[in-house]
């Protein structure tokens, strides 16, 4: 077995002890990077802490760069790796430190955690993901239909509430765009309380739209769940 084959086994596979250790180290570094990035945003951090976090970040970027080079080196099809989902995410993970573009994409490193599923019990989770794909396939038409219906419902609700509430609250329901924000917050049942109808007409309209709307908005999640359970049946 050549040195490259050995390296490939460590970097790409997770069947051997060395391969699992490599994966574990990388995953730990990603979590560390997420934590350090989050701490960095805290207000009133002492300067010493800032400097310390900068050192951590530099070390992490170096480590991730080394990892990227290794992955590139052992990849059988170089181009395919570079433009794959994980290849792009890996690249984005090391760019901010190298390029200092102003836009901070370090948080996207979290997506690399998805590799975790390749580390642990490969087969079972791959089958679960395949089932999920099949479930989406099974219910695709219904999901698309309901998403379109939801979009039209949100738009018509936004326009409706605009006509009812604009005169009473010209600052809050300032335009159809503001009303659309109200529609999103209301039909997802988040209801922050920053924008709500106060007129009798607006409240009656909201009540009616909610009764119709919740039946439409909450169905897709149920569809996904029952399609997943169906996909599992087909799998057995």
Shortest approach of a second copy to residue 60 CB, angstroms? 16
Q: Are 89 and 111 in contact (CB under 8 A)?
A: yes
Place of tokens 């979009």: 151
Q: Closer to a second copy at the Cβ: 10 or 228?
A: 228
Q: Closer to a second copy at the Cβ: 94 or 217?
A: 217
Provide long-range contacts, Cβ within 8 A and 24+ apart, for 150-156: 150/187, 150/216, 150/217, 150/220, 153/187, 153/209, 153/212, 153/213, 153/216, 153/217, 154/180, 154/183, 154/184, 154/187, 155/180, 155/183
Binders in 153-212 for a second copy, by CB under 8 A:
155-156, 159-160, 162-163, 166, 170, 174-177, 180-181, 184-186, 188-194, 196, 198, 200, 203, 206-207, 210-211
Task: Check the CA dihedral 169-171-174-177 and report its sign.
Answer: negative
Spatial separation of the C-alpha atoms in residues 209 and 182, rounded to whole Å: 13
What is the total count of residues that contact a second copy (CB under 8 A)?
79
Shortest approach of a second copy to residue 73 CB, angstroms? 28
Shortest approach of a second copy to residue 184 CB, angstroms? 5
Binders in 115-144 for a second copy, by CB under 8 A:
116-117, 124-125, 127-129, 131-132, 138-139, 141-142, 144
Binders in 54-93 for a second copy, by CB under 8 A:
none
Total residue count of the chain as it appears in this document: 236
Please identify which residue in 32, 68, 70, 107 interacts with a second copy, judged by CB under 8 A: 107
Shortest approach of a second copy to residue 154 CB, angstroms? 9
Q: Are 79 and 16 in contact (CB under 8 A)?
A: no
Binders in 22-51 for a second copy, by CB under 8 A:
34, 37-38, 41-43
């Amino acid at each position: 077995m050549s040195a490259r084959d050995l390296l490939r086994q460590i970097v790409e596979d997770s069947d051997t002890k060395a391969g699992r250790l490599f994966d574990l180290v990388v995953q730990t570094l990603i979590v560390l990077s997420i934590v350090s990035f989050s701490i960095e945003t805290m207000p009133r951090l002492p300067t010493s802490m800032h400097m310390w976090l900068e050192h951590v970040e530099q070390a992490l970027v170096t480590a991730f760069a080394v990892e990227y080079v290794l992955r590139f080196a052992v990849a059988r099809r170089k181009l395919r790796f570079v433009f794959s989902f994980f290849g792009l995410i890996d690249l984005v993970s090391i760019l901010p430190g190298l390029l200092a573009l102003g836009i901070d994409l370090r948080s996207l490193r979290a997506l690399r955690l998805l590799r975790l599923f390749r580390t642990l019990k490969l087969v079972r989770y791959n089958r679960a993901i395949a089932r999920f794909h099949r479930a989406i396939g099974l219910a695709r038409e219904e999901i698309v239909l309901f998403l379109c219906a939801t979009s039209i419902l949100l738009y018509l609700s936004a326009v409706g509430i605009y006509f009812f509430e604009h005169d009473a609250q010209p600052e809050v329901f300032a335009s159809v765009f503001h009303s659309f924000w109200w529609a999103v917050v209301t039909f997802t049942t988040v209801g922050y309380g920053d924008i709500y109808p106060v007129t009798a007409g607006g409240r009656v309209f909201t009540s009616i739209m909610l009764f119709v709307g919740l039946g439409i908005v909450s169905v897709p999640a149920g569809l996904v769940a029952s399609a997943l359970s169906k996909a599992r049946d087909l799998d057995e």
